[in-house]
Amino acid sequence: MKKVILDCDPGHDDAFAIMLAAKHCDLLGVTTVGGNGYLENVTRNALSVLEVIGRTDVPVYPGHAGPSTVPLVIADNVHGKSGMDGPKLDPPKRKPETKHGVDFIVDTVMNTDGVTLVATGPLTNIASAINKEPKVAERAEALYIMGGGAYCGNWTPAAEFNIYVDPEAAYKVFHSGIPIYMVGVNLTRQCPVNKDLIEELRGLGNRAGVFGAELMDFFAGGGDAHLHDACAVAWLIDPSLVDSAYLHVDIELNGSLTRGMTVTDLRTLQTNERDVDFDLGSPKKWDDPPVGSPFRGQAPNTHVGMRLDFPGFRKLLIETMASYD
C-alpha cells in the first residue's frame, strides 16, 4: 500500500477521496486547507468522514485557512454553508491535531521514505511545505492533484476552482520539480454523479453507503456533480484507470480572463477526428520551439490525465463503499 498524505477541503467529493484512500492506501494523515469551505468547517468535515468509516486512527492536521496573497474564495454555492451539506452528522468526537498541517507534511516527507502527496483542494499547504523545506519536492514520491484542466475550467471558462483559489501556490508547486499527476476537469467531467450511482450506494444499506448517497443527493443538486477528487485517489490506487499524456503545464497568474488557468501544451498530441479525443498512443516528439519563443526550453513536466475508465472507477468506488460498515 502506498504511504499517502491527503491534503483536502471536504467538500463532498473530497469525502469520497478520503474514503478511497483510507481503504486502499497507508493513509498517514489528512491535512486540511481553506477552499470549499472555511478551515474550521473543512477540518470538522474531515474528522466526520473518518468517523463515519471507523477510521478515527487517521490524524487530521489543520493547515492554512487560505492563500497568502489573495482573499479566500469558497464554494458554498456548491458545497453549502458547512462545506459538506446534506448528511445529518453529529459533531465529531475527536479534535484535530494541534500540529500545523504544513509541519506534518514537511516532517513526514523528510523522515519517511516513499510518501505520496495527494492534494484535492487549493495547493496552499503543498506550496507552503515546499517553501519551508524545498527538499520536500525531491523526497516526495509524487504529487497527485485534483486541479486545473487540460483545455477547460469550471470556476471560470479558463480556470478550475482549486487552482483559481490560489494560483501563486499552484505556480510554486508546478515550478518545484515535484513529479505531478494532474487530474483536471477535462478528466473529471468523465466521472458524473448520476441517479443510478446514488441509488446503488443507498442500496448497499450500510452506513457508509447511505452516507455516500446523502452526500451525492446534495452534491448532485449543486450542478457541478462530478466526483472530481475521488478520481485523483483512484488513479493512484489503480494506474490503469487513467490514460495520461506527459505535457508541459504552467500557471497563468496575470490574465484578466485566464488567471488560474493551467496552460497545457497539447501540441505534441495528435488529435483524431472526434473532437478532443486525443490519440495518446503516438505523441509527436517534443521539439524545443524556436529561439525567441516564450515556450522555448519548457519540456513536459506533468502527467496530465486525459481519459478515465469510468466503469472501472465506478466498480472501485462501489466495492470500497460496500467494504465499510
- Which residues form the catalytic set? 228
Q: How far is the CB of 14 from ligand RIB (least distance, A)?
A: 5
CA nearest 268: which of 255, 250, 287, 253? Answer: 287
Q: How far is the CB of 295 from Ca ion (least distance, A)?
A: 30
Of these, 64, 228, 248, 303, which contacts ligand RIB (CB under 6 A)?
A: 228
Of these, 29, 67, 121, 260, which contacts ligand RIB (CB under 6 A)?
A: 121
The answer to whether 72 and 48 are in contact (CB under 8 A) is no
The yes or no reply on residue 14 touching ligand RIB (CB under 6 A) is: yes
310-323 and 207-221 helices cross at what angle (nearest 10)?
130
The yes or no reply on residue 80 touching Ca ion (CB under 5 A) is: no
What is residue 241's DSSP assignment? G
Q: Looking at the chain, how many residues does it have?
A: 325
The yes or no reply on residue 120 touching ligand RIB (CB under 6 A) is: yes
- Which of the residues 58 through 77 are near ligand RIB (CB under 6 A)? 75
What nine digits make up the cell of 148? 486545473
Residues with Cβ < 8 Å from 175, sequence gap 6 or more? none
The answer to whether 162 and 182 are in contact (CB under 8 A) is no
Q: Residues in contact with ligand RIB, total (CB under 6 A)?
A: 16
The yes or no reply on residue 11 touching Ca ion (CB under 5 A) is: yes
161 binds, options Ca ion, ligand RIB, none, Cβ within 5 to 8 A by partner type: ligand RIB
**Only segment of 5-13, 39-47, 83-91, 288-296 that touches ligand RIB (CB under 6 A):** 5-13
Phi and psi at residue 104, to the nearest 5°: -65, -45
- Which of the residues 108 through 127 are near Ca ion (CB under 5 A)? 120-121
Q: How far is the CB of 129 from Ca ion (least distance, A)?
A: 18
Q: How far is the CB of 233 from Ca ion (least distance, A)?
A: 11
> With 0-12 CB in 10 A as exposed, 13-18 as middle and 19+ as buried, what is 31?
buried
Q: Give the separation between CA 23 and CA 17, rounded to whole angstroms.
A: 10
263 or 299: whose CB is closer to ligand RIB? Answer: 263
Of these, 35, 83, 209, 260, which contacts ligand RIB (CB under 6 A)?
A: 35
The yes or no reply on residue 86 touching ligand RIB (CB under 6 A) is: no
Q: How far is the CB of 49 from ligand RIB (least distance, A)?
A: 13
The answer to whether 261 and 162 are in contact (CB under 8 A) is no
The yes or no reply on residue 11 touching ligand RIB (CB under 6 A) is: yes
The yes or no reply on residue 32 touching Ca ion (CB under 5 A) is: no
Residue 232: CA count within 13 A, CB half-sphere: 33
165 or 306: whose CB is closer to Ca ion? Answer: 165
Residues with Cβ < 8 Å from 253, sequence gap 6 or more? 167, 168, 171, 259
Of these, 31, 32, 36, 48, which contacts ligand RIB (CB under 6 A)?
A: 36
Q: Give the separation between CA 41 and CA 38, rounded to whole angstroms.
A: 5
- Which of the residues 203 through 232 are near Ca ion (CB under 5 A)? 229
Residue 212: CA count within 13 A, CB half-sphere: 34
The yes or no reply on residue 229 touching ligand RIB (CB under 6 A) is: yes
Q: Note the residues at the interface with ligand RIB (CB under 6 A).
A: 9, 11, 13-14, 35-36, 75, 120-121, 146, 154, 160-162, 228-229
